[in-house]
Structure 1
Amino acid sequence: MRFVKVIGILTLVSLMSACSFWGGEKTEEPDVPEQQLYSEALEALEAQNYSLAVEKLQRLEARYPFGRFSEQAQLELIYAYFKNFEPEAARAAADRFVRLHPNHENIDYAYYLKGLTSFEEDRSLVSRYLPIDETQRDPGAALESFESFSTLTTRYPNSQYAPDSLKRMQYLKNRLAQYEVHVAQYYMKRGAWVAAANRGRYVVENLQETPAVPEALGIMAEAYEELGLNDQAAKAAEVLHSNFPDFRYESGKERDKSLLETATFGLLGSPDEAAIQRPTSIIVPSQPAEPAPETERSWFSILTFGAFDDSEEEAEAKAQP
C-alpha cells in the first residue's frame, strides 16, 4: 500500500515537471511608467494605429486607475474605440466616463463622441457608396445619436461641439420624420387608417420644420376621410393648403390590381398603360359599313389559330378562273 502511494506521488511530481517544462514559465510584463504608457498611446493615435492605442489605454487604465492621466486616458479611449470601429465599446466607455465624472470640464466631449459614434454607425460603408435610402432603415442608431446630441446642446449650449451637434440633429430629425412617413404609407396601402393617421400626426406635432410635414398632413387628411372623420380631414387639408399651397399630395391607398397586372408584376394590365394605348380621337364613318360575310373556317385554320389563313385565301384565289 505504501509502495502504491510512493508511485502515485512520483507520477504526480513528474507530470507537474513536464507541464512546467513544455509550458514554460510565464514572464511578467515589465512595469511601464504611467507617463511613458500614456505617451505611447498618444503616438499610436497620431499614427492612426487605433488597435494599439486601445491596448495601451486599457493597460494604462488598469494599472493606474487613480493616476495623473487616468481621466484623460478614459476620454482618449472613447475616441480610440470610435476610430477602431467598435461602436458598442465606445458608447459604453462614454457612459462610464459620464457616470464617474459628472462634473468634468470635458464631459461635453464624451456626449459628442457618443452621439458621433451612433451617427457614423448608422451611415455604414455600404450606404455611403450604394443608392440605399437610409430613411427606410431601422432608426435605432439615429435615435441614440439624436438623444446624445440633444443632451449636449441642452446642458452645454456654449460648448464648442454644440454648433456641429445642432447641424447633425437637423439631419437626423429630417430622417426620422421621413421614416415615419414611410411607415404611414405602409399602413395606408394595407388600409390601417388609424395607424397611418397617428404616424402623420406624430410628424406634424413632434417633427416640425422638416420636409416630411406636408406629406404627413396629406396622409392625415386621407386617413381621416377614409375613417369618416370629415371634420379632422378638412382641418388637415386646410392646414396643408394654407402652409404648402404648391404641394401636390398623391394618394397612398393601394388600388385594386387586375389579374393580368398581378401575374406580370405590374408590367401589363395597368390603367396607365391602357391610357397610353387609347387613341385620342375616333373617326366615325358617315355610313355604317356593312358587316363582312362570315366565311366557314377549315379545320387547318382552327388548329393553327388562323396563322395560315392568308396563304389559304391566296391559294383559293389562284385556283379560281
Structure 2
Amino acid sequence: MRVQHLLFLALFTVLAACSGKKVVEENLSERELYEQAQTDLNKNNFSSAIRKLQALESRYPFGRYAEQSQLELMYAHYKNRDYEAVNATADRFIRLHPQHENADYAYYMRGLSAFEQDRGILARFLPLDMTQRDPGATRDSYNEFARLIQRYPNSQYAPDARQRMIYARNLLADYEVHAARYYIKRKAYVAALNRGRYIVENFQGTPAVPDGLAIMVQSYRILGLDELADDSLATLQANYPEHASLTKRGKKRSKKLAREDNFNPNYKEPASRSWLNKASFGLLGKDNRLELPPARTQADREIQRQLKDAEESLPREIRRAK
C-alpha cells in the first residue's frame, strides 16, 4: 500500500507540474500572444501554440489576428494529431467566414483530417491491412475533397486533393474486395457476387476491378451459372491478361475448357510490403500501402467526370465564376 501511495504522489506531482506550465499569461497583448504562438509553431511546439491561439481567439474574438489564428489553429491541431479538433475548428471558420479568401483551406483541412484519421501511428509502422478496417473515414475524406474541388476548382489545394481522392477511391474499392472474399469464405456466394459486380460497375479505373471480375467468375461458377462465368472470365482475360488469377494452362484445348483451366480462384495478391519493411516496423524497405499512387489516366478521367456532374448539379448562384 505504501508503494501505491508513493506512486500516486509522484504521478500527482508530475501532473501538477505539467498543468502549471499550461497557464497562458493573462496580461499578454493580442500581438504578443500571436507572436508567441508563431514562435511555438516554428519550434514544432504545437501543444503550446494551441493554448496560445485558443487564448488569442477567446480574449480578442474581433481582433486583427482573430481569423488568422483560427486558420493556424487548424494546422496546429492537425500536427498534434487531434483530428476531431481540426474538424471543429474548420467547421466554425466556415460557418463564421463563408466568403473568406482562405475558406478553401478550411475545406482542405477537413478532408485532410479525415484522410489521416485512418492512418494513425500503428498503421504507419505495423503491418496493418487498411482494406480490412472500417472505411468510414476514408469515405468522408473523399467526400470532403470532392466538396473542396466543387467549390474551389482553382484552389491551390485542388491538385493534392485530387491525388488523395484517387488514393481514397482505390482504398474503398479494395475494401469491397476484402468484403467479397469474406463472403466467399462464409459461403455467401450471392453476396460475394453482388460485391464483385459493384466493384466493376462503380470503381472503374481502380486496381480492384480485375479482382472484382475474378470474384464474379468464382461466384458464378459455384452458383452453377457457367455462361455468365465464361462471360466474366472472357472480360478478365481480354482486359487484364496478367492478373494473378489467370494461369497459362489450357491453350490447346477447347475454348470452354481452356477458360476453366485458365482460372485459379485461390490466387494470392503480391505482398505490398517487403520483409525488411515489416522487420524494421516501417523504417526501412519498400512500403506500397502508404504512398499516394500517381494519377492513373482512366481513374483521373472518371473522377473528373464525377466532379463535373456534381458541379453542374449545384444551383447557379453558388457556382464559381469561370
TM-score range normalised by the length of the shorter chain: 0.5 to 0.7
Aligned to 2:140: 144
Q: Secondary structure at the match of 1:131?
A: coil
1:48-197 matches, cutoff 5 A:
48-197=44-193
Tell whether the 8 Å contact from 1:188 to 1:252 is kept in structure 2 after alignment.
no
Q: 1:138 deviation in Å?
A: 2.1
Instruction: Report the Cα distance in structure 2 between the residues aligned to 1:167 and 1:98, rounded to whole angstroms.
Output: 24
Query: Which residue in the other structure is 2:265 paired with?
Result: 251
The whole-number CA distance in structure 1 between the counterparts of 2:35 and 2:216 is 59
The root-mean-square deviation of aligned C-alpha atoms, in Å, is 2.3
Tell me how far apart the structure 2 counterparts of residues 223 and 240 of structure 1 sit (CA, whole Å): 14
Tell me, yes or no, if the aligned pair for 1:185 and 1:252 is still in contact at 8 Å: no
Q: Which runs of 5+ in 1 are unaligned?
A: 1-27, 254-321
Name the CA distance, whole Å, in 1 between partners of 2:150 and 2:232: 32
Q: For residue 97 of structure 1, what is the amino acid of its counterpart? A: F
1:229 deviates by 4.3
1:39-68 CA deviation, whole Å, 9 max, x = no partner? 221111111111111111111111122222
CA distance in 2, matches of 1:248, 1:38: 57
The alpha-carbon distance between structure 1 residues 228 and 98, as it changes in their structure 2 partners (threshold 3 A), is: farther
**Residues 136, 30 of structure 1: alpha-carbon distance in 2 compared, 3 angstrom cutoff:** closer
1:206 aligns with 2:220: no
Q: Matched residues in 1 for 2:62 and 2:191: separation?
A: 54
Identity %: 54
Letter in 2 for 1:214: P
Cα 1:231–1:105 change in 2 (3 A) is: farther
SS in 1 for 2:205: coil
In structure 2, how many angstroms separate the alpha carbons of the residues matched to 1:64 and 1:201?
56
Q: Distance in 1 between matches of 2:211 and 2:97?
A: 44
Which structure is higher in RCO with an 8 Å CA cutoff and minimum separation 6?
2
Give the secondary-structure state (helix, strand or coil) at the position aligned to 2:173: helix
- TM superposition shift of 1:248: 4.3
Opposite residue 70 of structure 1, the aligned amino acid is A
SS of the aligned residue for 2:206 comes to coil
Kindly indicate whether the alpha-carbon contact (under 8 Å) linking 1:184 and 1:219 is maintained by their aligned counterparts in 2. Answer: yes
Counterpart CA distance in 1 for 2:113 and 2:166 is 17
Q: Distance in 1 between matches of 2:222 and 2:28?
A: 73
Moved more, 195-204 or 47-56: 195-204
Q: Distance in 2 between matches of 1:231 and 1:105?
A: 58
Give, in angstroms, the shift of residue 31 of structure 1: 4.0
Aligned-partner Cα distance in 2 for 1:189–1:99: 48
Matched, 1:226 2:222: yes
Is the CA contact 1:189–1:252 (under 8 Å) kept in the aligned structure 2? no
Distance 1:219 1:163, change over 3 A: same
Q: Which residue of 2 aligns with 1:32?
A: 28
Deviation, 1:88, is 1.0
Q: Alpha-carbon deviations, 1:259-299, whole Å to 9, x = none?
A: xxxxxxxxxxxxxxxxxxxxxxxxxxxxxxxxxxxxxxxxx
Structure 2: tracts of 5 or more residues without a match: 1-23, 246-263, 268-322
Please report how far the alpha carbon of residue 89 of structure 1 lies from its aligned counterpart in structure 2 after TM superposition.
Answer: 0.9
Question: Aligned-pair distance for 1:184?
Answer: 0.2
Equivalent position of 1:283 in the other structure: none
Partners of 1:42 and 1:53 within 8 A in 2: yes
If you compute each CA radius of gyration, which structure gives the higher value, 1 or 2? 1
AA at the equivalent of 2:139: L
Q: Which amino acid aligns with 2:70?
A: Q
Pick from 44, 67, 91: which aligns with 2:40? 44
Give CA deviations for 1:190-248 in whole Å, capped at 9, x if unaligned.
11112111211221122111111101011122223333445543432232222112324
Is the partner of 2:64 in helix, strand or coil? Answer: coil
